Structure 1
């Protein structure tokens, strides 16, 4: 793999040589490095995108968002690789196919696999104005990726509401930020069986609840499990209340939101906690197919002490692949995605812009028919939380948090025992991985 990277790196494309932002009042006005590259580069090239880590990016979105980019750089074509969702990137590289751009993926994991190009020289060459970005985006990108990924959009969490279920049981819609305890109270009134259908008020993920308090799974100081403290206990006590609702746990079945289509396929889940990017697109596709669903947005809840915030910020971002053939061109394309023209398209087509421009939030979803008439303002009533430092091993041991929830729901295990068992499993895996301190 390293050999492939070295060989490919030697074939990297070239770009301008003047640092962006440098000026000389006595010198004649000259084209920017980006403009020079556009003028002088005639070779037609294709930049490929690999989706990593389960993020959503469709061909339609690529055509929409990259259209202004291809207009500015007519010699560059953008293509989303036709790879099955969740397929690993390593076999591609081993086979000699190195994608130019990686969309999504945890930086620590990508860095561990030596897949990330250093963007510092490219930023110096072509410029990068982070003052135009939302401060929380700048903080998240610099903290989580050492500045080696560029932001594209914010994937905000929200509550999706099945209004038909609320109407059926005479429950008022939710337009104010509520605590998780209040939401569970509402869910208890909506979890009932009627007409042969088992309705469920809401399902909750322990990791999403934990993210609402910015909780670590691995202690950043000790390198060991951090899941037995008071805060994680509060998370699992909340789950315990949910699982105690009559009709929620049905034998061995306690998960009601573990399928992406559960909200619009089964239509028996009253409240669905999910992100904008994962569900708005499918709902619009259903509308185009003539399938209607009476739904809306509610503000994202949290615990009392964190009310008004949602979960740790989730910034969808791009990286340039180490060893990619056209790194200069790839960087110019990514920088152009941060133009106001593209970011306006981002906002109007159902993603949240990373630019620090409130006007773009007012245009959110304007070009998406399925969002017309929805309570858009509810999306922005809870602010994303600051990102915790990422641990490369966290994705490998998160499964034990889910197992602890299962112990609680269907095996009758108490909260403290479930968390201690999870901690033991996490520490054992970390020891095997050689990452404990």
Structure 2
């Protein structure tokens, strides 16, 4: 009887905790009962014994406070025997030092590019395929492009982690400038031709103020391009950028800056183009990652909103690739199964709903959770749902051998900026980029 009473009390406490997580971060109680198999939440006796899990984050925006509230608390609500430690990477906490000292983390929080610099070089990767099968974990709950992209970036299609939240490129616009010119706001579903014409219409000088129609945060637009184009051929180990498809991509981007008076006054810098949008307030539209709104959401003088990024006419429903942050499971400490189960709790409907409400785009195929995006953030009321207007393009198959060694994106992005500054043509730019990437590949192989 006593044992049954203890079991009942524990069940009630656990049920209270989940309800709280689904509704308010500050609530003191918890959940609506053990998740069903349909919700994708496995369970295992392996979590009954006390275990300590360490997380190493390459994402500084995930602060200690956010970790405790959105990672540690939800995991401990389901698995009270789990103790979690959180380390934010930096000069004082390098993963190389942790590995060398025998303190390799159990989970690494980073992107796919971060996987190539913080997971693969230290042989920490762990393929989750067997654990997914063992626990019958339902991957269909998850946005498929986030999984496909990770498999394409991994050896032999392995799945080294599960996504935490995602991001993608959208179009921000300054409502005040459109109102001033009496022009209708941009819409989701525009083609690149339509967006370029709108940018030209909005580029003008009025009352001595030079207004630019559109700027581009080019780094993400190149890396996460809508055409799913690879920079290095996975078979030939050669640059694959001097192609007809890359010409199409860069002619489109260059077309924005070919608009008379739409170039920046100084040297082109993709990151600075986003800053100019909110600091100078003379740019009508900027195409940038959705997370970019964090730079200006506290600016009360900027009257902004967002729509889906333009698409190519022959691919009207294909947006940019998802820029996803993953929980990569480490093989270092023989705690991969416990780490996996902890992560699946963080992918529960309850935790993803909380994340979505706070403005972190969810990774679940759940329209209710997606619709809640940002509704409890400082920017409540903005059109965040447009992030899911287009399908995410899939990351192309990567050259897993060279991707960690050659930063082809950096080379290509610099060549794009140089082209905008100098006025050279796309063919010349791509030929130069190809030469420089191949040179970097040769140097990497020689080492």
Using the size of structure 1 for normalisation, the TM-score is: 0.79
Q: How far apart in 2 are the matches of 1:304 and 1:316?
A: 30
Matched, 1:149 2:161: yes
Q: How far apart in 2 are the matches of 1:169 and 1:272?
A: 17
Q: How far apart in 1 are the matches of 2:429 and 2:178?
A: 34
Q: How far apart in 1 are the matches of 2:183 and 2:267?
A: 26
Q: Residue 140 of structure 1 contacts residue 387 of structure 1 at CA under 8 Å; is this kept in 2?
A: yes
Q: How far apart in 2 are the matches of 1:352 and 1:305?
A: 27
Distance 1:418 1:279, change over 3 A: closer
Alignment-derived partner of residue 419 in structure 1: 430
Distance 1:86 1:313, change over 3 A: farther
Alignment-derived partner of residue 383 in structure 1: 391
Alignment-derived partner of residue 56 in structure 2: 50
Matched, 1:103 2:109: yes
Q: How far apart in 1 are the matches of 2:293 and 2:122?
A: 32
Matched, 1:162 2:174: yes
1:257-293 Cα distance to aligned partner (Å, 9 max, x none): 43765443443332222223x2354555x27xxx453
Gaps of 5+ in 1: 1-22, 24-31
Matched, 1:295 2:307: no
Q: How far apart in 2 are the matches of 1:303 and 1:85?
A: 42
Aligned length: 395
1:156-214 Cα distance to aligned partner (Å, 9 max, x none): 32111221222223221112311222212222233344566543322232762571111
For 2:123, what is the secondary structure of its paired residue? coil
Q: Residue 206 of structure 1 contacts residue 239 of structure 1 at CA under 8 Å; is this kept in 2?
A: no
User: Which of 203, 208, 211 in structure 1 is aligned with 2:221?
Assistant: 208
Q: How far apart in 1 are the matches of 2:76 and 2:182?
A: 51
Q: How far apart in 1 are the matches of 2:248 and 2:320?
A: 16
Distance 1:55 1:211, change over 3 A: farther
Alignment-derived partner of residue 71 in structure 1: 77
Q: Residue 220 of structure 2 contacts residue 289 of structure 2 at CA under 8 Å; is this kept in 1?
A: no
Q: How far apart in 1 are the matches of 2:185 and 2:102?
A: 54
User: Which of 402, 412, 415 in structure 2 is aligned with 1:401?
Assistant: 412
Alignment-derived partner of residue 128 in structure 2: 119
Q: How far apart in 2 are the matches of 1:78 and 1:299?
A: 38
**1:33 Cα deviation from its structure 2 partner:** 8.2
Alignment-derived partner of residue 16 in structure 2: none
Q: How far apart in 1 are the matches of 2:93 and 2:312?
A: 36
CA RMSD of aligned residues (A): 3.2
**1:77 Cα deviation from its structure 2 partner:** 4.1
Q: How far apart in 2 are the matches of 1:250 and 1:347?
A: 35
User: Which of 340, 346, 349 in structure 2 is aligned with 1:340?
Assistant: 349
Gaps of 5+ in 2: 1-36
User: Which of 323, 336, 341 in structure 2 is aligned with 1:314?
Assistant: 323
1:206-263 Cα distance to aligned partner (Å, 9 max, x none): 7625711111211233221122211111222223322222333356512354376544
Q: How far apart in 1 are the matches of 2:258 and 2:175?
A: 24
Q: Residue 206 of structure 1 contacts residue 236 of structure 1 at CA under 8 Å; is this kept in 2?
A: no
Q: Residue 166 of structure 2 contacts residue 360 of structure 2 at CA under 8 Å; is this kept in 1?
A: yes
Distance 1:241 1:261, change over 3 A: closer
**1:432 Cα deviation from its structure 2 partner:** 1.9
**1:388 Cα deviation from its structure 2 partner:** 1.0
**1:296 Cα deviation from its structure 2 partner:** 0.8
Q: Residue 165 of structure 1 contacts residue 270 of structure 1 at CA under 8 Å; is this kept in 2?
A: yes
User: Which of 204, 212, 224 in structure 1 is aligned with 2:238?
Assistant: 224
For 2:153, what is the secondary structure of its paired residue? helix
Q: How far apart in 2 are the matches of 1:274 and 1:427?
A: 29
